[in-house]
Structure 1
Amino acid sequence: MFAPQGPTFRELAVQALSSVERGYDLLAPKFDHTPFRTPDAILAPVSRALRRLGPFDSGLDLCCGTGAGMDVLREVCRERVTGVDLSAGMLAEGRARAGVTAGAPSAAWVRADARALPFGPVFDLAVSFGAFGHFLPRERPGLFAQVYSVLRPGGRFAFPIGAPARPGSPGYWALLGFDAAMRVRNALWRPRFVMYYRTFRLTNVCTELTRTGFDVRLQDLPELGRRPDGSPRCRLVVATRPA
């Protein structure tokens, strides 16, 4: 499906009936040939916005997968970048794809649960792309507290967030149908596979980040266009741990 090099329908079905960790282990070799990888059209504007905020010394890619966000960190960090993910398969693919580039910051790939990060406050920047649907709303305060704990004072946590699909639009019904299917699947099948697209809402997320202690600012990403009412299609959330 998706591309000749991508997973087959059967492979996707097996993944969907696995746990999140096992599912991504299975998908890892073909993940970059699916639409689940964050596209370069989003990564590039985020990278440009972060360059205006930086430079940074050390960066963390939360739920890094095969390393799309690691590429962004390499552009804005001077010393070292770290990717953390629960899936050993995704980490192996990312490590193999990245290789070693002269003059680039050193890179580490760490298998860990984002809800229990094995680091102290050593990062100047944390990013994440497309992973928040794997966390239930009740888990987000703990997740944000973990990110806060690994940032140095003045460190930033940044991620893009798209505007919600207009009610009644094809995108709205597609996301609603996907989330409904996942809820039915998780009610009937174990282990669960948590992936809900409609639970990560900007207003709620900003409130939770503020309660964690972050100073939250929003930046438009005009390269990604505007909605008919003039509002941006995508914003960059920049949450700063106070100095």
Structure 2
Amino acid sequence: MFTPQGPTLRELAVQALSSVERGYDLLAPTFDHTPFRTPPAVLDATAAALAALGPFEDGLDVCCGTGAGVEVLRRVCGRRVVGVDLSAGMLAVGRAALGGGDRPRTEWVRGDARALPFAPAFDLAVSFGAFGHFLPREWPGLFAQVRGALRPGGRFVFPVVAPARPGSALYWTLWAFDGAMRVRNTVWRPPFVMYYRPFRLGGVRAALERAGFAVGLRALPELGTRPDGSPRCRLVVARRD
């Protein structure tokens, strides 16, 4: 997809007709060569913001995939970094690329973000590009699971891109993609949940607060501004009181 190293159209079609877990197992070997991986500019801007918020000792990457967020955590955490994901294939790619390490120690755990297998052991949790795989009604439970993995005062941090301008090419692309996924899930089982259009800051903030977080926002100026001067991307910083 878009590069010789990326998945073919046939491979993407097979993935789209699979479950989320199986689909990402299939996509894992070529995932880092697709546009679905979080861009380096977003990762770098987030890492810079986290460095200013720290120091941190233990970090958790929720829905870590092949480890983009794990790399960010390894820059800002001093003792331990854990990546958790439902896909064994994505974890295997991340483990092969990044390994374990000693400082910080890096671990890879297979698990469902809706039932995280952790006691309150982390002072920082992050997530990049995974929230479209959860329906809005699942957000409060998902965020409650992350809160349960954080020590008191711990932070859950993730970037949120400003919504596409109505009428723009990106706006209609997201509408078309969302519609195609809804049609697919109406006529085919198992479902493949990937709806990014509903993930808007207002609803997300309300769900975080309902889960017990105090929510703040930080602009990421490195990623530019919109024509009205507002940031193109903000960092949600949710603190477990």
Bin the TM-score by the shorter chain.
over 0.9
- Once residues 99 and 60 of structure 1 are traced to their aligned partners in structure 2, the CA distance between those partners, rounded to angstroms, is 16
Q: What residue in structure 1 maps to residue 108 of structure 2?
A: 109
Runs of 4+ in 1 over 3 A off after TM superposition: none
What amino acid maps onto 2:49 in structure 1? A
- Once residues 7 and 96 of structure 2 are traced to their aligned partners in structure 1, the CA distance between those partners, rounded to angstroms, is 19
Cα displacement (A) at 1:182:
0.2
Q: What residue in structure 2 maps to residue 72 of structure 1?
A: 72
Gaps of 5+ in 2: none
Q: What residue in structure 2 maps to residue 89 of structure 1?
A: 89
Q: For residue 97 of structure 1, give the secondary structure of its aligned residue in structure 2.
A: helix
- Once residues 236 and 85 of structure 2 are traced to their aligned partners in structure 1, the CA distance between those partners, rounded to angstroms, is 21
Cα displacement (A) at 1:104:
3.1
> So what's the TM-score if we normalise by structure 2?
0.99
1:104-153 Cα deviation digits (max 9, x unpaired): 30011000000000000000000000000000001001000000111000
Say whether the 8 Å CA contact 2:65–2:91 is kept in structure 1: yes
Gaps of 5+ in 1: none
1:54-99 Cα deviation digits (max 9, x unpaired): 1101000000000000000000100000000000000000000003
Q: How many residues align?
A: 241
- Once residues 219 and 127 of structure 2 are traced to their aligned partners in structure 1, the CA distance between those partners, rounded to angstroms, is 17
Q: Does 1:141 align with 2:140?
A: yes
Say whether the 8 Å CA contact 2:133–2:195 is kept in structure 1: yes
Percent same amino acid at aligned positions?
73
- Once residues 34 and 8 of structure 1 are traced to their aligned partners in structure 2, the CA distance between those partners, rounded to angstroms, is 11
Q: Does 1:121 align with 2:120?
A: yes
1:19-76 Cα deviation digits (max 9, x unpaired): 0000000000000000101010100000000000011010000000000000000001
Cα displacement (A) at 1:199:
1.1
Q: What residue in structure 1 maps to residue 19 of structure 2?
A: 19
> So what's the TM-score if we normalise by structure 1?
0.98
What amino acid maps onto 2:87 in structure 1? S
What amino acid maps onto 2:158 in structure 1? F
Q: Does 1:171 align with 2:187?
A: no
